[in-house]
Structure 1
Amino acid sequence: MRLSAIGRTAVTATLLIAAAACGGRDSGEAGGTQATGATGGQCAGQQTTGITDTSLKLGGIYPLSGPASAYGAIPKGIKAYFDYVNAEKGGIGGRKVEFVVRDDGYQPPKAVEEARRLVEQEQVFALFQTLGTPSTTATWDYTNQQKVPQVFVATGASVWGTDTEHPWTIGWQPNYVSEARVYAQFLKKEHPDAKVAVLYQNDDFGKDLLGGFKNAISGTKITIAAEQSYEVSDPTVDPQMRNLAESKADVFLNVTTPKFGSQALAADAKNASWNPLHIVNNVAASITVLKPVGFENVQGVVSATYYKDPVDPTWAEDAEMKLYKAKMQQYAPDADPQVPYHAFGWAAASSFHKAMEAAKCPTREGLRDSVRNLQGVQVDMLLPGVKLETGQGDGFPIESLQLMRFKGERWELFGDVIDTRKEFGPLTG
């Protein structure tokens, strides 16, 4: 159950007070050891499992195998960033970062198993970048019971920013409801009478984005002509695409993860009798999703983003992009720096770096409070104008996006960066 805006504000205010004082819970409860003299003073009594004066251990859970294995590129970008910082910057706050990655195959029960292994056996300081709405939903009760930070999870479900019962878990990327609002705004301006066919993943991820889209078009002339769902265990979405094509909708909203995103794009390209404007959600908009379909078959597809695309020549002379490409080649020579998921990982790791440095205490409580009190933090791999911002009543670090259209062999940004907080108001549970 989600609480009212007043309830969220009260809880978040409590967290911010805790951040100011850097006071923590009694670590005699489950979750780790107490802070020692190294953290002393106002940080005494807080959890320091997984962190010392010279080391910091993080755990990540990703689908390195299974239907969402394309996301396995993300931890390569993260590890390259941490390897670079360890070797050339002395780590984060003088602490060398160890990043332990586990594979859950995009299976929630496996994610729970791996979370327990990371917390209880690996003794990590925090879980960083748990990927996927189903996996994160399956693990956040456990991590919050253990009082282990589960920060910048790699999923845009709106619940990570509206829930008040899991203060140790927070998202990073723009939430799916806000992303849906951006697509709805685009259609209101460019296709105000659009009839939309929707393919969506039958879980909290797909339903979150679809629900946000439906709410955003309410009261307009835009209508949903047809909708079809799929399961992550389905071998193909071809049957769903045939059904959607029969609607003759003039817009196709593709709410999928990478494997099924490619299938939907390919099915759309093969159907000569149906040629809708194709909108693909950000999580399936990587060049690695589009390339197998054939670039000639994805011209004009629309999506939205918030971080710099390493394929876009706009950033060829950008200092952060040049650093990223050089260090990827140095520390992850088997990983192609042109793959956007690697840049995503680099941006997320850089965001963690900023949040950890801002923590008033080098403790689990300190990190928990820091990620909920980010004030206009600039991360150089994010698009200009996109900053990390959290605070009282706002648990969404990134809430700005820019539309993009595929042209030639790459995405081209168009329009301005849209701050969804200002454009649509705060998202409430």
Structure 2
Amino acid sequence: MVLAPYRRSPRSRAALAASTVGLAALVACGGPTNETASVGISCETTAPGVTATEVKIGLLHDDSGPSAEAMRAFRGGVDARLGVTNEEDGGVFGRTVTYAWRDDQADPSINLQAARQLVTDENVFGIIEAPGAEAGSAEWLHQQGVPVTGLASDRLWTRYDNMFSWFYLGEGSVTTWGDFIRSRGGTRAAVFAISGNEANFDFSRQFKASLLETGVEIINIFEVAGTTNYVNIAQQIKASGVDTIAGVLLPDAAAELLPALRDAGVRPKVVMMPLGYDQNVLARYGQQLAGTVIYSAVKPFELNTTEQQAMLTAMTTYAPQAKPPQQDSAVDGYVAADLLLRGLREAGACPTRESFINALRAVNDYNGAGLIPHSVDLSTNRNKISVCYSFVQVGTDGQRFVPLSEDATCGQEITSQKMDQLLSNP
């Protein structure tokens, strides 16, 4: 999924070994009629990371820290999208797109150090950031004018015009989560949070405001830590008459809580999680999570669209290490790379960081390679919270995901002022 209210990221070991592509006719700086050239590209000035035959970008992600296992497929998604461009499309304006990477260990201070290395030592043009520690480098990358693409799992993405995403947590909240719970008959909720996680705290405020605005009463709030007693929590939920389990309830926690609830004779109308749309989760916890609903900022793979088939083929071809490829984190990496490639194409044959940022910010029909629920307007979306999600449910047999709708479910925006008002009078 998409939504990343906690620190998470992929793993991998070596930079993309992109092949050299054939170049078509000499291209002048004014802009070509097509993207390929046979000899090279002649530009009056050279941007960092850009040569006649190559664009070098950077990748920041957690390869060895606490969330390295949570999004293994993110880097695979990057590899797959760049593989298609380099091997099948002839690069971008004939240039091969390669990358250098650094492990930020999901630590903001290390993230800043790693970003400096990529920009100053590796001389990269722009950076793809996996969710997790981007707060460390965001301000510095903005000061340097370095383009950044990725999943905006932190509200700080809204502050900087050099940072691009198809999804934003943003300011304020949305009614989407509360609307869905009400549609399933939920009215009394137990809301879960991760103890000591600042990003989680911000998201929890948004989630609670969504429930309150739509008339869902918050009965219990539980902070989950490594030693949480789920049997005790189940008894508290039973005693309080809760019919909805939601908030930042992660798969491993839900796999302990839900059996405890069943043993206590509690059958919630709604159990909702922000993460877990992953075949690995299904294989490990499917039986325990039967009936659980997961919301995601990617289209359900079960729709089997042409674009999804193309992405899965690319994952098999260029990122075979990412198994299974049907993971929302793989889509996050794939779309983050696609977004950067779109910026390079929009910037023209002689890109600069400034022209990249200006041109990509003017795109008003970005569709995320057909993998996101709906097209977005990049000229305005960083100032708006995303209001649309896909909802899938773990089947009653615990062996499959079932899309609850072919189309995204969209709600209404809740302003920051309204959110503060709701939370001050719960």
TM-score range, shorter chain: 0.7 to 0.9
Verify the 8 A CA contact 2:58 2:124 in the aligned structure 1: yes
Aligned partner of 2:157: which letter? W
Q: TM-score, normalised by structure 1?
A: 0.75
In structure 1, how many angstroms separate the alpha carbons of the residues matched to 2:343 and 2:414? Answer: 22
1:226 partner letter: N
Give the TM-score taking structure 2 as reference length. Answer: 0.76
Segments of structure 2 that go 5 or more residues without pairing to the other structure are 1-40, 418-426
Shift of the alpha carbon at 1:337? 4.4
Deviation of 1:241 (Å) = 7.5
Number of the residue aligned with 2:295 = 304
After TM superposition, give the deviation of residue 419 of structure 1 in Å: 6.7
SS of 1:371 mapped into structure 2: helix
1:379 and 2:368 correspond:
yes
CA distance in 1 between partners of 2:406 and 2:415 (Å)? 21
Distance 1:206 1:285, change over 3 A: farther
Q: Alpha carbons of 1:68 and 1:142: their partners in 2 closer, same or farther (altered >3 Å)?
A: same
1:404 to 392, 404, 414: 392
Q: 1:237 to 1:140 in 2, by over 3 A?
A: farther
Task: Please name the residue that 1:252 is paired with.
Answer: 245
Offset of residue 402 of structure 1: 2.1
CA RMSD of aligned residues (A): 3.0
Q: For residues 177 and 239 of structure 1, what CA distance do their matches in structure 2 show?
A: 33
Return closer, same or farther for 1:139/1:289 CA change in 2, 3 Å cut-off. Answer: farther
Q: 1:393 to 1:304 in 2, by over 3 A?
A: closer
Secondary structure, aligned partner of 2:335? helix
Amino acid at match of 1:305: S
In the TM superposition, residue 394 of structure 1 has moved relative to its aligned partner by 4.5
Distance 1:238 1:139 in 2: 33
Please give the residue correspondences for 1:27-176 in structure 2 after superposition, counting only pairs within 5 Å. Answer: 38-40=42-44, 48-69=47-68, 70-132=70-132, 135-152=133-150, 154-161=151-158, 163=159, 166-175=160-169
Looking at structure 2, the residues matched to 107 and 82 of structure 1 have their Cα atoms a distance apart, in angstroms, of 26
| C-alpha distance 343-216 of structure 1, shift in aligned 2 (>3 A) | closer
Change (3 A) 1:405 1:64: same
Which residue of 2 is the match for residue 329 of structure 1?
A: 316
| 1:183 positional shift | 1.3
1:286 pairs with 2:306 = no
Residues 302 and 176 of structure 1: CA distance in aligned 2, closer, same or farther (over 3 Å): farther
Distance 2:121 2:219 in 1: 51
| Aligned pairs for 1:8-27 within 5 A | none
In structure 1, how many angstroms separate the alpha carbons of the residues matched to 2:233 and 2:385?
A: 38
Residues 336/76 of structure 1: CA separation in 2 closer, same or farther (3 Å cut): same
Matched AA of 1:65: S
In the TM superposition, residue 62 of structure 1 has moved relative to its aligned partner by: 1.3
CA pair 269-240 structure 1, distance change in 2 beyond 3 A: closer
| 1:143 counterpart SS class | helix
Q: How far apart in 2 are the matches of 1:118 and 1:416? A: 40
Task: Give the whole-Å Cα distance in 2 for the aligned partners of 1:206 and 1:415.
Answer: 27
Aligned residues: 365
Measured in 1, the distance between the counterparts of 2:177 and 2:298 equals: 17
Q: Measure, in 2, the Cα distance between the counterparts of 1:241 and 1:280.
A: 19
**Aligned counterparts, 1:173-184, within 5 A:** 173-175=167-169, 181-184=175-178
**Unaligned runs of at least 5 residues, structure 1:** 1-36
Give, in whole Å, the separation in 1 of the partners of 2:256 and 2:337: 35
CA distance in 1, matches of 2:357, 2:416: 21
Whether 1:338 and 2:336 are equivalent positions in the alignment is no
- Aligned residue among 195, 206, 215 for 1:212: 206
Aligned to 2:357: 368
Shift of 1:219: 4.8
**How has the CA–CA distance of structure 1 residues 322 and 187 changed in structure 2, closer, same or farther, with 3 Å as cutoff?**
closer
Give 1:79 deviation, angstroms. Answer: 1.0
SS at match of 2:175: helix
Most deviating of 71-80 and 213-222 = 213-222
| CA gap 1:142/1:181 in 2 versus in 1, 3 angstroms | same
The aligned residue for residue 223 of structure 2 is 229
Residue 194 in 1 paired to residue 183 in 2? no
What amino acid is aligned across from residue 380 of structure 1 in structure 2? A
Q: Tell me, what secondary structure is at the counterpart of 1:246?
A: helix
Q: 1:176 to 1:412 in 2, by over 3 A?
A: farther
1:50-81 Cα distance to aligned partner (Å, 9 max, x none): 12232111111112223211213201121122
3-state SS, counterpart of residue 237 of structure 2: coil
What percent identity do the matched residue pairs reach?
20
Q: Secondary structure of the equivalent of 2:287? A: helix
Distance 1:401-1:178 versus aligned 2 partners, 3 A rule:
farther
Separation in 1, partners of 2:181, 2:47: 49
> Which protein is richer in helix relative to its size?
1
8 Å contact 2:271–2:291 — kept in the other structure? Answer: yes
